[in-house]
Amino acid sequence: MSKYLLLLYYSEESEAAFDALPLEERRAAIKKYKDFAERLAQEGRLIEADGLKTGGCVVRKKQGEISVTDGPYTLAKELVGGFYLFTAANLEEATELAKQCPALETGGTIDVREI
């Protein structure tokens, strides 16, 4: 089994779609993320999963100068908002699991990457 990382990306549009849901539907959507992680854990696949807090910084080096800017969102149209780290037999299996991730229900995008 190999390790795979699902990076969950959110855009302004997908965040707006989530925020527009009534409170009970937002709670149900959050529960789907927890249920997805729980299912991976019960299958013995889950290594780690979590959401990322807003804020932080971006460190870049350009022409020998290092710059630090607030937030990972200064130039991005989409932000990484969370991740799942799990095991799968191959990329195809990891991709099939990614298709079941609730991030897709509100317009999120998922990168599937082998570690």
What is d(CA 113, CA 106) in angstroms, rounded to the nearest whole number?
A: 21
Pick 32 or 56 by higher pLDDT.
Answer: 32
To 10 degrees, the CA torsion angle through 42, 43, 46, 47?
100
Q: Quote the number of domains for the chain.
A: 1
At 76 the pLDDT is: 63
Looking up residue 51, the CATH number of its domain turns out to be: 3.30.70.1060
- Its domain, for residue 50, covers 2-114
Confidence of residue 95 (pLDDT cuts 50, 70, 90): very high
What's the pTM value of the predicted model, to 2 decimals? 0.83
pLDDT of residue 73: 60
